[in-house]
Amino acid sequence: QVQLQESGPGLVKPSETLSLTCSVSGGSVSSNSHYWNWIRQSPGKGLEWIGYIDFEGGTNYSPSLRSRVSISLDTSKNQLSLSLTAVTAADTAVYYCTRAAATIRNYFDPWGPGTLVTVSS
């Protein structure tokens, strides 16, 4: 079955760029049936959808993060990536990659285990 694994620096300085990668196994990011999403969860808080990318590289981002976020695909490595610029302490969170069906009725499944990113000098 499809498995996802996030990776990247666990510590980022304020004002710098957060960069994470999600490696996908058991399935292809080139699938025209799915959206590949990033979701984050701040410590002790709820879940926030960041955005998704589809197999053609089309993207959709949360309005609250749109000015700072970018999601890209590397089909040769079967990976997706997240870039978040000008980070602050408020961006400290566990970041998850997850898949959703590109249909009218979708849900997030499966999820990667998540990776904690701390923004601190």
Nearest approach, Cβ of residue 53 and other proteins (Å): 12
Q: Tell me the longest C-alpha to C-alpha distance in the chain.
A: 43
Taking CB under 8 A as the criterion, the residue among 56, 107, 120, 121 binding other proteins is 107
d(C-alpha 26, C-alpha 8), whole Å: 21
d(C-alpha 103, C-alpha 93), whole Å: 29
Nearest approach, Cβ of residue 103 and other proteins (Å): 10
The label of the residue with tokens 């025209």 reads: 32
**Residue closer to other proteins, measured from CB, 4 or 18:** 4
Q: Which residues bind other proteins (CB under 8 A)?
A: 46-49, 51-52, 60, 62-64, 96, 98, 100, 105-109, 111-114
